[in-house]
Amino acid sequence: MTISMYQASVPVITRSLSNLRHLLEKAAEHAEAKKIEPEVLVNARLYPDMFPLSRQVQIATDMAKGGVSRLAGEEVPKYEDNEASFAELIARINKTIALLEAFEPAQINGSEDKDISVPMRDRTLSFKGLPYLLDYVLPNIYFHTTTTYAILRHNGVEIGKGDFLGKTA
């Protein structure tokens, strides 16, 4: 059995973002129930030199939209990066999921050896499609969704591994 680039990207990333959305929904409920200003959680960090929760979500969605768009040979959409509430972060996730779901398998399949360039501030990263997906895109999405989970859990939101992984078949 083989797995296609589409199967290894869009459904996997969509699931991760859907679970991230679920975490944020639970965090919003927690803030309301405990009478905590939601901005406290949205701006929370694990350590002073780390990005806050809002930026973790922004980077996870940036990696998702950038990863799949580049594999498909499409321009990467730009987002404002100005979300300051759970509702705005959830809307960003929803927008990203809708973007991913609009891609057809034919746009992504066969991109294993495609040349991918990722412009950074001071350099450009170069990959072939499969290592780009497996060694860069997916680990970055998992890192930033895991960090979001850790920030919320550290701040008392009652979430667990099942919330992070989502429902299994």
pTM as predicted: 0.96
Q: What is the pLDDT of residue 169?
A: 59
Cβ proximity of 21 and 94 under 8 Å: yes
Instruction: With respect to residue 68, please indicate whether it lies within any of the assigned structural domains.
Output: yes
Residues of the domain holding 123: 10-159
The CATH number for 58's domain is: 1.20.120.450
How many residues appear in the chain?
169
Instruction: With respect to residue 147, please indicate whether it lies within any of the assigned structural domains.
Output: yes
Is residue 33 over pLDDT 90?
yes
The answer for 90, left when phi > 0, alpha when psi is -120 to 50, beta otherwise, is: alpha
Q: Give the mean pLDDT of the chain.
A: 97
Instruction: With respect to residue 60, please indicate whether it lies within any of the assigned structural domains.
Output: yes
Instruction: With respect to residue 165, please indicate whether it lies within any of the assigned structural domains.
Output: no
- The percentage of the chain sitting over the pLDDT mark of 70, rounded to a whole number, equals 99
Instruction: With respect to residue 155, please indicate whether it lies within any of the assigned structural domains.
Output: yes
Q: Which amino acid is at 5?
A: M
Segment 126-153 shows an average pLDDT of 98
Report which secondary-structure segment, H or E, holds 126.
strand 124-128
- List, for residues 50-69, the tens digit of each pLDDT value: 999 999 999 999 999 999 99
Scored b (16 or more CB within 10 A) or e, 134-146 reads: eebbbebbbebbe
Is residue 168 over pLDDT 80?
no
Instruction: Count how many domains the chain has.
Output: 1
Instruction: With respect to residue 43, please indicate whether it lies within any of the assigned structural domains.
Output: yes
> Would you state the torsion angle of the CA atoms of residues 125, 126, 132, 137, taken in this order, to the nearest 10 degrees?
20
Q: What is the pLDDT of residue 105?
A: 98
